[in-house]
Copies of this chain bind each other. A is one copy, B any other.
Amino acid sequence: MKNNMVEYRRKFGYSQEKFAELLGVSRQTIISIEKGKYNPSLPLAMIIAEIFQTNVENVFILEETDYKK
Contacts and interface: CB of A to CB of B under 8 A. Distances in A.
A43 B41 CA distance: 9
Contact of A62 (B23, B43, B60, B67): B43
A42 B23 contact: no
B39 A66 contact: no
Interface of A: 1, 23-24, 39-47, 49-50, 55-57, 60, 62, 66-69
Nearest to A1: B43
A60 B47 CA distance: 12
Given A56-B55, A67-B23, A67-B24, A39 B39 contact: no
Contacts of A39: 41-43
